[in-house]
Amino acid sequence: MNGIVTSSNMKPIAKGVLSGVTVSFKDCICVKGLPAQSSSKILKGYIPSFNATCVEKILSQGGTIIGKTAQDEFGFGSFGINNSYDLKNPVDPTRVPGGSSSGSAIAAKTIKNHLAIAESTGGSIVNPAAFCQVFGACPTYGRVSRYGLIDYANSLDKIGVMANTLELTAKGLTVISGNCSKDSTSVDLPAEDFSKFETFKGILGVPKEYVENLSPEVKQAFQLAIEKLKSKGIQIKNISLALNAKYSIPSYYVIALSETSTNLAKYSGLRYGPQSDFKLHYNDYFTKVRQNFGVEAKRRVILGTFTRMAGYRSAYYIKALKVRTLLIEEYKKAFKQVSAIIHPTMPILPPKIKDTKNLSPIEIYNMDLLTAGVNLAGLPHLTVPIGEMVGMLITTNHFEERKMFSVGGLL
């Protein structure tokens, strides 16, 4: 399996920097004429009548679209097991590929000269990219238009890229970036070529809390990568991200699920997917159609409704948004001491598929420990392979994507 769930052969409309490159899109990104289901039964039969902005940009720069890739339902998952595709890690088929952009990582690893366009809410690009041993880049929030993305959580969703080389990853992110009048949260900044980065000169920070509980394989690969950086004359400084280490997971999940519960309200069996009997009362109709949600989607809608309910809203949703402010400030303070922050992308190797069956939701949510903070803060981040199924996460300040790639160029 190469991660593709719907194949196509959509030719580019012009020559450009991606001429000769095949491109795939995560299933949640709308490509005109191709089914877009986000791996959910509730979107069965939905075929978009328009292209997402990033699709138009790829076609105008020479990319050939070869299909849509598998994912966890609506992006709800860290392992690639919350769908019906039986996905396996291409490096070790007994292990999970990671999630939620699982198919993107598999395609980037197994298809030659391929650019996979993926999406991240809390780590869904860098998690599977690290596990499948490819490069994965997630931009600053607002850098890439979300127009045409089937949303999970509006204030957290970012479209990014994966590829087998740093150069193609940087080129791909450059092509899809830019201001877009169709996305009200798109940021108006001049175009930059992220692939034209200079040699990195600066200090790299390692948050002590993010290297405390690593598996032996991850710890060893990270130490070797640090030695390599030191041998190139790079100064490494220990820093602290104590608040993020403790509170990024609860803050991230409260905000993500609150936003999810409103976003998924549009799946009412009227505009999209399977319908029911119109003679039913609206509430019964709505409830019946929504039985097409998977168990995790139901769980997240219930939790997100709870955190926004009268009586609980201040204690959970508003509180999480305030904590988010403090978590962003903690990163900003760190960037006054160091140019970029590095740590492993995931604390463990991808789990064996058989070992993921009995994990509880909270155990799965805790897997996002090293990626939730950067996503909550909307910071650009890049994972670079540093060992078998191990990645190093490089994070820079907002809109410093080029610096992020320059650190990647050292490894």
Site for other proteins in 48-67 (CB under 8 A): 49
Only segment of 115-123, 226-234, 241-249, 345-353 that touches other proteins (CB under 8 A):
241-249
CB 65 within 8 A of CB 51: no
- By CB under 8 A, the residues from 320 to 349 that bind other proteins are 320-326, 328
287 touches other proteins by CB under 8 A? yes
Candidate residues 152, 253, 335, 405; the one interacting with other proteins per rule CB under 8 A: 253
Report the alpha-carbon distance of residue 347 to residue 391 in Å, rounded. 10
Nearer to other proteins, 32 or 88 (CB): 32
DSSP string, 211-277: GSS--HHHHHHHHHHHHHHHHTT-EEEEE--HHHHHHHHHHHHHHHHHHHHHHGGG-SSSSSS----
User: What gap in Å lies between CA 112 and CA 276, rounded to an integer?
Assistant: 44
- In the bound state with other proteins, the residue whose beta carbon lies nearer, of 231 and 277, is 277
Decide: is 307 part of the binding site for other proteins (CB under 8 A).
yes
Cβ count near 357 (within 10 Å): 7
Alpha-carbon 189 to chain mean position: 22
Query: Scanning residues 363 to 382, which ones bind other proteins (CB under 8 A)?
Result: 365, 376-379
Buried b / exposed e across 301-326, counting CB within 10 Å, b at 16+?
bebbbbbbeeeeeeebbebbeebbee
Active-site residue list? 26, 100, 124
Instruction: Give least dist CB 41 to other proteins, A.
Output: 14
Residue 271 touches other proteins, criterion: CB under 8 A: yes
- Regarding 213 and contact with other proteins (CB under 8 A), the answer is no
Site for other proteins in 74-103 (CB under 8 A): none
Q: Which of residues 306, 409, 410, 411 is near other proteins by CB under 8 A?
A: 306
Task: Check residue 359 for interaction with other proteins (CB under 8 A).
Answer: no
Count of residues touching other proteins (by CB under 8 A): 75
Pick from 15, 212, 309, 332 the residue near other proteins by CB under 8 A: 309
Q: Considering the complex, what minimum distance in angstroms separates the CB of residue 242 from other proteins?
A: 12
Strand-strand pairing, 203-207 and 340-344 = parallel
Cβ contacts of 270 within 8 Å, gap of 6 or more: none
